[in-house]
Amino acid sequence: MDDIAYSFAGAKDVINAYGEFVAAIADIPATRLLGRAPEGMNSSGDSQQQDWSKRIKAMQTLELGPCLDRADIYLVQSALGKAEPSASYAFAPLDIETDKERAERFAKQMEAADKLAGLNAMPEQAFNRGIQSLMIAEGYLPELEAALSEIPDDERYGIVADPSVDDPTEGGGPDSTGAGGSGSETEPPVRVAANDATPRPLYVYRKLLNAGELVDWAQGLGVKTNPADQLHVTVLYSKQPVDPMAMGEGWSSDPDGGLVIKAGGPRALERFGEGALVLQFASWSLQSRHNEMVQAGASHDWPDYLPHVTISYEAPADLDLEAIKPYAGELRFGPEIFEPLDPDWKSKIAEA
């Protein structure tokens, strides 16, 4: 009788190789099919999971979706008793979003919305509705949909009613000749919508909240500066009388309505007029807001709008601007301030 010895050395490698072969044929990551940890140095398995999610998404869109579309025609009508063209479905998310990823996505969406608002590419009411739908669909603010449903549409979407529609002052009164009366010697008062205001020359600006930092920098160059509490950026200087209410309001992610110009970016020191020294900087938000108000009827007396802060009105004539590196620190501005335009504003500024 002979004894035969069997060796199973290498059997595990054979089984693993077979498992990987099956995973490749099935187009399923081996980490999911075999339930094993990802292999390789510093491998987290994220890439395999992303590939698997893409595969499932493609199957949902290209294979399962068309089947559901055909079946829903009958299923929805059977369940509701009538066809519902607006009915839709959505697949559950394949991954669980982390708090960090959700916050980053929200920040990017709001940044894109901020830029879109400045383009004036759509009516304000449509934009408001779209933003509200986005917030509801993403579930960023609990109970938002319920709260908005209790608000009238004109208030919810910022719809301005036409005062000429259903105007009680237009006919129908006993003293109105249009109603068959003898007429009144005094005309009925003109109805003014609640959102209207007397047109006037308008000045809109934002105060520089951290003006002390800019003042210290400029005085270090030997420049006699304007007082820190008077440093600001002009958003609009309109000699044309306009209705302030028609200018709307600037969109800001800051709850206090402020605006922050991050450190760095395009900056320049320039002389304006007689002795004025200004710090120019680039700001898409200020540029688009200015354009928005000009399109709403305001005027602008210069060829271009250049966001800037006037540092001084008595800059030394021998100050070599080419040799000075412009102030590159952060600029923090407060909310927009609307004021009647003061033609004599310059005489009221005292040098610091």
Query: Which residue, among 132, 49, 141, has the nearest Cα to 96 in the 3D structure?
Result: 49
Contact (CB, 8 A) for 223 and 311: yes
- Side-chain-facing half-sphere of 155: CA atoms under 13 Å: 7
Q: One-letter amino acid identity for 163?
A: P
- Crossing angle for the helix pair 99-119 and 124-138, to the nearest 10 degrees: 170
Using CA atoms, how far apart are residues 79 and 256, in angstroms rounded to an integer? Answer: 49
Q: Which of 61, 225, 290, 310 is catalytic?
A: 310
234 catalytic residue (yes or no): yes
The token pair that represents 70 in the structure block = 């055909």
169 catalytic residue (yes or no): no
308 catalytic residue (yes or no): yes
Q: Which of 61, 169, 198, 232 is catalytic?
A: 232
3-state secondary structure of 21: helix
The token pair that represents 3 in the structure block = 């004894």
Cβ neighbours of 278 (radius 10 Å): 21
Using CA atoms, how far apart are residues 51 and 318, in angstroms rounded to an integer? Answer: 65
Using CA atoms, how far apart are residues 317 and 278, in angstroms rounded to an integer? Answer: 14
Catalytic residue numbers read 232, 234, 308, 310
